[in-house]
Amino acid sequence: MLVGTLSLLADGSEVFAYDKSYVASKIAVPIYPVLPLQLEGFTTQQTRAAFASLGPEGPVGHDIRTALRAGRDAVTPVLARLNHETIGALTFTDDGRRPSYEGAGVTPLDTDTLASFARNPERAAFEELMRSRLSLNGAVSKIGAIRTEEGWGRPQELMPSTHILKAGTPAFPHQMLNEALCMRCAVACGFDDAAQTDLIPIDGCDPILASQRFDRMTVKERPAGLPETMRLHQADFCQTLGISVDALKYTPSDELIEGYTASVAAAISRESSERYGDRSYVFDMLAFDYLVGNCDNHLKNLSLTWSPDWTRKAISPPYDITCTTVYADLSREMGMGIGRHRAIDAVEPADFPLMAEQLGVGWRQARDSLSQMAEAVAPSMMDCAHELEMECGVKAIELAEHLVGDCRGRVEVALKASM
């Protein structure tokens, strides 16, 4: 169904407006919290806050904007060109025709293409995104893929991808192995629904990481002509809080601050169908980020997912967790801090009860889950390393030992907090 129209005006402003028949329909719901149902168009700022997250960032985003002659901040030209599918459930069309599943299918993503993606991620991601008209956001090079019984496939036309494949850069050695270890460790520490993460080994370089999409669902009996994979909608917390400037995905200012935690808690209370459970889940996620040393826990790495019928929303499972503290060049300021501290090394036991308070979560319950995670993180990390070595033959134990060594001091702080 046509939900609305995004227009780029001659003066460079971008305006989204819902379609009248959508607003009038019984099933109409806001597609993002910052775009309440209304007939008048939204401002450029609201429009960008809602849609900017759908465009690729970093070098791939830059190459795409250059190829499309799109301005630095403009989102409409990028979405018009790349949009059989995005992060979430929306699809875009730029010729006024209804997107159709005609021609939707899968073609093989062969080993050579995967190897060239691992070896030259930026070039290959640019080509794949232009070719398959997917737009996947984030700074790391990635492509959308489908796991089939025969191996990896590339979505054709409107076919939804089932996985996101990511390739690291040599600037951060073992980046994908690091993420796979942290993601699997999250599952082992109690985040049962965290994105399922696998590695595809490639000779001579860091493996490719395959993350199963949580904004996709398999439905066996769908109406004729529709694929079994159904898109679910998602929005990150820049979209949810109406933050249109990418740099602000990290808490601004490095003073002693309370940061975004209280705003995230308020947004959950407003938007989520699982208010208390989700605020307490965010406590666990932030505590886990702290324990494993993931300072890249900014507002785009936290999101809401909609139910298949778009009537309910809840916090998405964790994704994109990496131990960033092992890379000397990366900032040690967390995207969202713990209590009063953003600098990961300055976090002290008193910050944890404060964070529980900011999130409106009972300290007793939060404390129990903190101490369980603190006890579990090191042994789980080692178990996951053994599992990955057995499963795909990558060397994971040495890195896991390094990550465990790195977490030790933080585990002690968390245990003190939970005493």
Token pair for 24: 């009038």
Choice between 53 and 418, CB closer to Mg ion: 53
Q: What does 299 interact with, of Mg ion, ligand ATP, none (CB < 5 to 8 A by kind)? A: none
Q: What does 214 interact with, of Mg ion, ligand ATP, none (CB < 5 to 8 A by kind)? A: ligand ATP
To the nearest whole angstrom, how small is the minimum distance from the Cβ of residue 318 to ligand ATP?
Answer: 9
Q: What does 213 interact with, of ligand ATP, Mg ion, none (CB < 5 to 8 A by kind)? A: ligand ATP
Choice between 139 and 217, CB closer to Mg ion: 139
What part of residues 297-336 is at the interface with Mg ion (CB under 5 A)? 301, 320
**Torsion angles phi and psi, residue 108, rounded to 5:** -65, 145
Choice between 92 and 319, CB closer to Mg ion: 319
Token pair for 101: 């599943």
Q: What does 137 interact with, of ligand ATP, Mg ion, none (CB < 5 to 8 A by kind)? A: ligand ATP
168 binds Mg ion (CB under 5 A): no
Q: What does 236 interact with, of Mg ion, ligand ATP, none (CB < 5 to 8 A by kind)? A: ligand ATP
Choice between 136 and 417, CB closer to ligand ATP: 136
Q: Which residues of the chain form contacts with ligand ATP (CB under 6 A)?
A: 57, 87, 136-140, 164, 195, 211-215, 236, 296, 300-301, 303, 319-320
**Nearest-CB residue for Mg ion:** 320
**Nearest-CB residue for ligand ATP:** 138
To the nearest whole angstrom, how small is the minimum distance from the Cβ of residue 25 to Mg ion?
Answer: 33
What part of residues 334-353 is at the interface with Mg ion (CB under 5 A)? none
Choice between 316 and 380, CB closer to Mg ion: 316
Q: Which residues lie across from 86 on neighbouring strands?
A: 135
Question: Among 55, 61, 138, 293, which residue sits at the site for Mg ion (rule: CB under 5 A)?
Answer: 138
To the nearest whole angstrom, how small is the minimum distance from the Cβ of residue 157 to ligand ATP?
Answer: 20
To the nearest whole angstrom, how small is the minimum distance from the Cβ of residue 259 to ligand ATP?
Answer: 17
Q: What does 246 interact with, of ligand ATP, Mg ion, none (CB < 5 to 8 A by kind)? A: none
Choice between 209 and 403, CB closer to ligand ATP: 209
Q: Which amino acid would we find at residue 219? A: V
Choice between 176 and 361, CB closer to ligand ATP: 176
Residue ranges binding Mg ion (CB under 5 A): 138, 301, 320
